[in-house]
Amino acid sequence: MNLSPLARAVESIAKEAGAFLKSQQTTFSQERVSLKSLNALVSDVDENTERLLVDRLSELLPEAGFLTEEGTTIQAAEKEWVWIIDPLDGTTNFVHGLPIYSVSIALKHKDSLVIGVVYEVGMDECFSAYAGGGARLNGQPIQVTTTSTLDNSLLATGFPYYDFEHIEGFQHTLATFYKSTRGLRRIGTAAVDLAYTACGRFDGYFEYGLSPWDVAAGIVLVREAGGLVSDFSGGPEAIASKSIVATNKRLYPSVFNVVRKNMGNA
């Protein structure tokens, strides 16, 4: 399959979903929010956006299955082609009126992620990549940084909000990076954290307690931008784990060793 035109079509679909999200935020009220689990917010906007994405992506690739956050489709995910989608990554930001949230769409062929698109709505930035095609931001090529030492690095993470089993190790990890980096950032959407790592705004990103739809598209972006991605134990299939480390190749050992020492079992 020619992935290039398919990726461009996915970009258009992501932007359509983003336009819908943006229109909904202007009139959004807290009464539309419910809890899936501890601190896991969901609203009718998430669900309606997911339905839009499923409809459009089904037209684009009818033979594909779906793995979705909100479960609005029952199409089997055990197919040769599978869309992995998060209709609104950064729901908490969205419901509180913060402008950083995204649409995340990935395509998996058998066991390989082959397309990743993250559309950051507030900045109107579309990050896109496909296997072997490099990574782009609004059509322009992007690369991870060449930073090689922690003292020159800016890292991103996400704070635990439901899985507190590894909180002590996480705090030790933060304490190490407080002292050894230029700083840590937490913006509230894993998809954008990975996109920003891919384009060089962050030198690296780590987090645990994640789901496949949080990271699938971003993994493609980072890899195609020249970076490395693993889970906290060093395994390459971060999408199948709940943890992720993503950095450029030079910085990876320094970031990974700190994370593995403190949180290798997360």
Q: Which residues of the chain have pLDDT under 70?
A: 29-43, 74-77
Cα separation of 123 and 113, whole Å?
26
**Domains of the chain, with CATH numbers?**
3-141 (3.30.540.10), 150-263 (3.40.190.80)
Supply the pLDDT for residue 38: 47
CA distances from 12 to 18, 34, 57, 207 (A): 10, 29, 11, 29
Supply the pLDDT for residue 42: 56
Annotate 84-117 with b (16+ C-beta within 10 A) or e (fewer). bbbbbbbbebbbeeeebbbbbbbbbbeeebbbbb
Supply the pLDDT for residue 31: 60
Cα separation of 156 and 175, whole Å?
14
Supply the pLDDT for residue 77: 61
Strands (E), 132-259: 135-137, 140-142, 154-157, 183-185, 204-208, 227-230, 243-248
Note the pLDDT tens digit of each residue in 173-223.
999 999 999 999 999 999 999 999 999 999 999 999 999 999 999 999 999
Q: Which structure tokens are listed for 218?
A: 């971003």
